[in-house]
Structure 1
Amino acid sequence: MEKDTLINIGTCINIEDKQKNEILDTKPLAARITDYLQTEIINNNLKPGEQLKETELAKLFGTSRAPIREAFRMLERNGFVEVVPRKGAFVRRYTTKEIEDIYKVRCALEILALEIALSRLCNEDFIKLEKLISNMAEAMNKGDVKTYFKYNVLFHRNFFHIADNPVLNEIFERLSNPLLGLRLKSLSLPESLKESYMEHINIFNAIRERNVELAKKYLEAHIVRAMKKLKQCVAENCK
């Protein structure tokens, strides 16, 4: 399931450095450009408020401006970019109010996914969640924020995978994916990795005990703390 989840998430958790020639050539050009720019935004190589330059991207991909503009429209629909008439496309800058609104909905969606997942959880699912926790621990001990974040995202995505509700999953990804870059940055705040890991341990232990209410309680507390970290990151303009 871990491999499948990675494929389903696509570029939205591919936080390794990626060059444009590594993007699958089977996709239409505009989709490849979209994938490339999403990855750059998530990696924080493109910062909130930074302008995306059509001319440079057209030269980079050896194309006209038409596929670039189509990619900008796709990124805008996905919540990664804001297109300003007569000015251009800019990496979307989220306000603390927008983050709070998104996280309130995310919390409700993820608690629902967890509740459904726990009613369907089999031993194989549990073993894979346990492996993700182990991978998170290893990355935390190394201080490897990017690798920790990858397994963190997979841990949460697995609730939706197990729940097997495509509508729920689609809404969740549409809300949460544009904030992946901010979430990655927030994990660099002091003590964030350790706090995050301990919260995931609490969630995992409640899942192991099949204690639905306790798992939901720990998950909600984790999401609320993560929201506060994101708001702090935006307020302090984290690098």
Structure 2
Amino acid sequence: MHSMEFDDPQSGLERAVQTLEEEIVLGFLHPRERLVEDELLARFNLKRHVVRQVLVELERMGLVERKRNVGALVRAYTIKEVEDLYAVRELLECQCVQLIRFPVPEEKMQALEATQREHDAQVTAGNLRLVFRANMSFHRQLFALSDNPVLVAAIQDHAQRAHSIRSSSLVLPEQLERARREHWQIIEALKAGDSHCLVELCRAHLAPSRDAYVEAYHRRAGLVTQTEPKHLSA
């Protein structure tokens, strides 16, 4: 990958964090993959203390874990951790959309639809980084309709922690198309003022990324079992 040069350490830190966040959520960086300080120094042309700040921020976001004598690794989850995280995400997000008051102001509906049209365009273009950013923007605007910024912040925090889990589904064309369609269904439920439908759509919207990660986890575990060398008894 090409190195990047930044004059302002703060902008360099933010850009490095954003780039690595995208690469984790898109599966370019895999769970348990090491993030080596020297490689990040060369790639982003940052000072060592700034690179360490990048890793601290990624750890705070739940994307990276740092282990003694190993260094920084892309966060990997057990099946139970995935199920627990998604149970909390479902509670937060479903509660959030139940707080939305109808009718939603027209200017906010128009802004949400404009964001979704941008998401549509990036899905069609196959620009996964911009798909990811438009998707995040759509959900921020949706949950902001609850007028509860504390709850929205909690949702965002838990969504960030799920980034490496979502990589199993975010890059698949059929999953991108499914998510795009579901966004429009959410918009229609908002227009109709149908709170029950909105809750059920949000609950269903979470399931595919969780299920894809669990399936991939079992697939990897099965592959390891099949390829383990068989030791002959003495």
Alignment gaps of 5+ in structure 1: 1-16
Relative to the length of structure 2, the TM-score reads: 0.76
The aligned counterpart of 2:229 is none
Q: Which moved more, 1:73-82 or 1:130-139?
A: 130-139
Partner of 2:140: 157
Compute the displacement of 1:56 (Å): 2.6
Aligned to 1:210: 193
The reply to whether residue 227 of structure 1 matches residue 202 of structure 2 is no
Instruction: Between 99-108 and 60-69, report the one with greater CA deviation.
Output: 60-69
- Corresponding residue to 2:81 among 79, 98, 101: 98
Aligned partner of 2:29 in structure 1 is 46
Q: For 1:29 and 1:136, locate their aligned partners in 2 and report how far apart those are by CA, in whole Å.
A: 27
* Partner SS state of residue 116, structure 2: helix
1:99 to 1:25, Cα distance in 2 relative to 1, 3 A: same
- Corresponding pairs, count: 220
Q: Cα distance 1:230–1:200, how it changes in 2: closer, same or farther (>3 A)?
A: farther
Q: From the superposition, tell whether residues 32 and 194 of structure 1 become closer, same or farther in structure 2 (CA, over 3 Å).
A: closer
Find out whether 1:88 has 2:71 as its counterpart. Answer: yes
Counterparts in 2 of 1:50 and 1:219: CA distance versus 1, 3 Å: same
Q: CA deviation at 1:100?
A: 1.7
Partner of residue 75, structure 1:
58
1:136 aligns with 2:124: no
Instruction: Give the superposition deviation at 1:182.
Output: 4.0
TM-score normalized with structure 1 length: 0.75
Letter of the 1:162 partner, please give it.
Answer: L
| Residue aligned with 2:69, SS | coil
- The match for 1:122 is 105
Aligned Cα RMSD in Å? 3.1
Kept in 2: contact 1:145–1:193 (CA 8 A): no
Matched residues, percent identical? 29
The aligned counterpart of 2:227 is none
SS at match of 1:41: helix
Q: Determine if contact 2:83/2:210 at 8 Å carries over to the other structure.
A: yes
Letter in 1 for 2:55: F
Alignment-derived partner of residue 58 in structure 1: 41
Greater than 6 Å deviation, 4+ residue runs? none
Equivalent residue, structure 2, for 1:172: 155
Amino acid across the alignment from 2:106: N
- Decide whether the 8 Å contact of 2:9 with 2:50 is kept in 1: no
Give SS of 1:117's match.
coil
Q: CA deviation at 1:74?
A: 2.7
Structure 1 residue 236: deviation in Å?
Answer: 4.2
CA distance in structure 2 between the partners assigned to 1:29 and 1:143 by the alignment: 27
Partner amino acid, structure 2, of 1:230? Y
1:96-121 per-position Cα deviation (integer Å, ceiling 9, x unaligned): 32222111111111122222234472
TM superposition shift of 1:59: 4.0
Judging changes above 3 Å, is the alpha-carbon distance between structure 1 residues 113 and 71 closer, same or farther for their aligned structure 2 residues? same
Q: Distance in 2 between matches of 1:141 and 1:29?
A: 30
1:81 CA displacement: 1.0
Please tell me whether Structure 1 or Structure 2 has the larger radius of gyration of its CA atoms. 2
Q: How far apart, in 2, do the equivalents of 1:203 and 1:215 lie? A: 6
Q: Structure 1 residues 86 and 144, CA, compared in 2 at 3 Å: closer, same or farther?
A: closer
